[in-house]
Chain A
């Protein structure tokens, strides 16, 4: 637009890096005043890419050189150093791999089932908010049930295999999804609803074209939280009764005082959590590229 371009040229002598803006492929097309801001924001978001890796390496180094042992007065059998954990992982790689798959299946299965139930409840509630709100509050009460109470009950119901852990994780995750998805589905600005009414859109169309799209970011946030909750649920579930899995191995080896193997379970559980978190992050990026948090200057 002419008027916007005019403002832009007026501002350019003030803002410092003129040639950089001209190089920006977007600035020709997208005549926005914000562009000087945009290029600096991009610089900020790019530079810290190596930072977490650097911090991680420093952390591992201090650990390896027994910095934490000196600091907290720990012995090697209490906190094994990274190299001995790595050796333990290497020596038991087959067992750890199969147990990781086992526990991973429990948490992903439980997380998906729980989230699906929660999402379904939120969608149903959003169509009848008067009764729905109460139902969601009731479901949210599930969040208050402590896992140490839940785990033995579920083991009692569904046996000591995968099913009971999936049940534990499902119950732990459904409330989070239900509450956040419901909130996302209901928080629509009145003007948007008026717009849809003005075009005689039915409730189902409003759900599909407006509510669900607006709820997607909160749904993904709930999924990410649920993945982390899922790991806790699966591992603590295995603590009580089980004969396989990372949680079983962890509690078993702690009792035996075999700390390097116990710590390798902890490390693998953490890696599992990080990998799944980024998987969901990636899907989110593809599904809601329009959201403020996902925007990249083109």
Chain B
């Protein structure tokens, strides 16, 4: 249990958060009394079926929504302060690239919005382009790239202001299996290099098990935390890890959370 031994410093604290959508009389409870913590430099997955509120939870952390009740603190601050200080990067399921901007210009968008000068950020974007392996494509437009490449651009853009936290909302779920595997490995590499805290929303059990230090299993209607499971990161190639007994045990353990619910 490597992650347990590590010095745990809380980065994100979700404290009894509930979220209700809709007007009076027609309310839909998306989240009901959710509490957990995310530690610094940790890779946490929010895993669950559709309707479990995992995306809502991510949007609450990003201050794109406000909780009906409960509190979220990131470091010592509320999400709004964190957002205004641009301390997180965000990646959505769709790459949300600006079609009129080249790869490089897309990656530079957050720095441009911040008001930095071109001379200051050009080197940063060049480095990020190299990091996500798009050096040859930096002057291409999004429509000239494959889906996987577009999502790489989105990841590079999320990293451009070097935020301590990366929020990812099913970033690989629209990609084919081959591209997905490659990007999963690349993301783990990026996390090893940059030590970011990553909150990763997914509905794929193997993906959550493969990537995460911890998996937060959520159940739906209303959305709440079912259980929090510690994962073990193994060394080895993608094939070795995926075929290992330990990987299958962990996958089975996660899957059993859902089996209990349905029986």
A residues with a Cβ closer than 8 A to B are 1, 3-4, 29-30, 32-33, 189, 191-192, 194-201, 205, 209-210, 213, 288, 290-292, 295, 298
Interface mask (B141-159 → A, CB under 8 Å = 1, otherwise 0):
1011010110000000000
A288 touches B92 (CB 8 A): no
Interface locus among B6-14, B106-114, B209-217, B252-260? B106-114
Known: A205-B113, A290-B99. A197 touches B64 (CB 8 A): yes
Provide the residues of chain B in CB contact with A291, threshold 8 Å. Answer: 99
In the complex, B88 has a CB within 8 A of chain A: yes
Known: A3-B148, A213-B98, A291-B99. A200 touches B113 (CB 8 A): yes
Interface mask (B115-148 → A, CB under 8 Å = 1, otherwise 0):
0000000000000000001001000110110101
Can you sample 18 A-B contacts with CB below 8 Å?
A1-B133, A1-B148, A3-B148, A4-B148, A4-B149, A30-B140, A32-B144, A33-B146, A191-B96, A192-B98, A194-B92, A198-B83, A198-B88, A198-B90, A199-B86, A199-B109, A200-B84, A288-B100
Known: A1-B148, A3-B148, A290-B141. A209 touches B113 (CB 8 A): yes
Provide the residues of chain B in CB contact with A197, threshold 8 Å. Answer: 63-64, 83
Q: Closest 6 CB pairs between A and B? A: A290-B100, A198-B90, A199-B110, A201-B113, A191-B96, A290-B99
Give chain B nearest CB distance to A266 CB in angstroms. Answer: 40
Give chain B nearest CB distance to A53 CB in angstroms. Answer: 31
Provide the residues of chain A in CB contact with B113, threshold 8 Å. Answer: 196, 199-201, 205, 209
Q: Taking CB as reference atom, which chain B residue is nearest A28?
A: B136
How distant is the Cα of A29 from the Cα of B135 in the complex, in angstroms?
Answer: 11
How distant is the Cα of A195 from the Cα of B109 in the complex, in angstroms?
Answer: 10
How distant is the Cα of A192 from the Cα of B182 in the complex, in angstroms?
Answer: 26
Give chain B nearest CB distance to A119 CB in angstroms. Answer: 19
How distant is the Cα of A210 from the Cα of B140 in the complex, in angstroms?
Answer: 19
In the complex, B47 has a CB within 8 A of chain A: no
B residues with a Cβ closer than 8 A to A are 59, 62-64, 83-84, 86, 88, 90, 92, 94, 96, 98-100, 109-110, 112-114, 133, 136, 140-141, 143-144, 146, 148-149, 161, 178-179, 182
Q: Taking CB as reference atom, which chain A residue is nearest B89?
A: A198
B143 touches A1 (CB 8 A): no
A1 touches B140 (CB 8 A): no
How distant is the Cα of A256 from the Cα of B94 in the complex, in angstroms?
Answer: 66
How distant is the Cα of A202 from the Cα of B215 in the complex, in angstroms?
Answer: 35
Known: A199-B114, A201-B113, A205-B113. A194 touches B146 (CB 8 A): no
Provide the residues of chain B in CB contact with A295, threshold 8 Å. Answer: 143
Known: A3-B148, A195-B92, A209-B109. A200 touches B83 (CB 8 A): yes
How distant is the Cα of A290 from the Cα of B143 in the complex, in angstroms?
Answer: 9
B86 touches A200 (CB 8 A): yes
Provide the residues of chain A in CB contact with B182, threshold 8 Å. Answer: 3
Q: Tell me which of B64, B84, B112 contacts A194 (CB under 8 A).
A: B64
Q: Taking CB as reference atom, which chain A residue is nearest B84?
A: A200
A198 touches B149 (CB 8 A): no
Provide the residues of chain A in CB contact with B62, threshold 8 Å. Answer: 194, 198
Among A195, A210, A291, residue most surrounded by chain B Cβ atoms (within 10 Å): A195
Q: Tell me which of B92, B133, B161 contacts A191 (CB under 8 A).
A: B92
Other than A1-B148, A197-B83, A290-B99, give 15 A-B pairs with Cβ distance below 8 A: A1-B133, A1-B146, A3-B148, A3-B182, A32-B144, A189-B96, A194-B64, A194-B92, A195-B90, A198-B90, A200-B84, A200-B113, A201-B113, A290-B143, A292-B143
Provide the residues of chain A in CB contact with B114, threshold 8 Å. Answer: 199
How distant is the Cα of A195 from the Cα of B97 in the complex, in angstroms?
Answer: 10
Give chain A nearest CB distance to B81 CB in angstroms. Answer: 10
Q: Taking CB as reference atom, which chain A residue is nearest B136?
A: A29
Provide the residues of chain A in CB contact with B94, threshold 8 Å. Answer: 191
How distant is the Cα of A229 from the Cα of B22 in the complex, in angstroms?
Answer: 45
